[in-house]
Amino acid sequence: MKSASTTSARIRGFVSFLVAAVFCAAGSAMLLGLPWMINLFDRVGAGQWFRFVTGALELAGCVLLLRASTRYLGALLLLLIMLVAIATHVLVIGGSPAPAVLLAVTCTWLLVGEPRRRSDVGRHQTSYERSRSKEANK
């Protein structure tokens, strides 16, 4: 029987993959300059450069979400983007912010499930540290 932590990690990985796919599609649409994205960013009024920056950040968040060791950073980046998107919908362009809210909630769920990895991001144990750890466990 699988442990609960293994099942939870697999579910979190699958959800991360789905969220990354959504952001990959949206980020690609921004960078490719699809007409509806151009119109959307025209309505925002920040200029088309903002579309490129947002698209690039969304794609970066996708890449970060796909690796367990960087999932926390990816979820944090994408959550911040979605909070700005929600504010933009409510205060500037109107329309329903429901998709952005759903993605923000999902990114928050991913963040809450990753605190143990937060301290391990970018941390690689040296051979000296491994040998010291083995000696301590004897």
pLDDT, tens digit (0-9, with 9 covering 90-100), for 64-119 = 999 988 999 999 999 999 999 999 999 999 889 999 999 999 999 999 886 554 44
Domains identified in the chain, total number? 1
Selection from 113, 16, 122 nearest residue 69 by Cα = 122
Which domain range does residue 119 map to? 4-137
Q: What is the DSSP string of 77-138?
A: HHHHHHHHHHHHIIIII-S--HHHHHHHHHHHHHHHT-HHHHTTTT----HHHHHHHHHHH-
Greater confidence (129 vs 16) lies with: 16
Whole-model pTM above 0.75? yes
Q: DSSP label at 47?
A: -
The pLDDT confidence band at residue 120, using thresholds 50, 70 and 90, is very low
| C-alpha neighbours within 13 Å on the C-beta side of residue 58 | 27
Q: How many other C-beta atoms lie within 10 A of the C-beta of residue 115?
A: 9
Provide the token pair at 31: 């960078």
Residue 119 is predicted with a pLDDT of 47
Distances in Å between the alpha carbon of 122 and those of 58, 118, 132? 21, 9, 20
